[in-house]
Structure 1
Amino acid sequence: MIILGVILLVIGWLTGISILYTVGAILLVVGLILLLLGQVGRPIGGRRWYY
């Protein structure tokens, strides 16, 4: 999710398509939040790790 967010951010920035930039930023933030919660050991959706 983080990699997809970065890819969409770059494509949106290079082409000027703002919806790709926005979706990429949202995916990046959500992916980072899930990564942090998984690293702390907090279960997410009944799972101990988020991949």
Structure 2
Amino acid sequence: MLLIVLVLLLAIVLGGVGFVVHALWWIALAVLVLWILGFVFASGGRGGGRWYRW
């Protein structure tokens, strides 16, 4: 019985980790798209092609 509970807990933990990693990939993709769009839209204005203010 204890073995079944441990296997179920392991499956739940690994399933949760898999979901979090999948969500992080989508967030990383969205940040990458925003970063590329920042370069594309800033290249035409404000001298030097810098889109950041630092």
Using the size of structure 1 for normalisation, the TM-score is 0.49
Q: Which has the higher contact order (CA 8 A, sep 6+)?
A: 1
Higher Cα Rg: structure 1 or 2? 2
Relative to its length, the structure with more helix (as a share) is 2
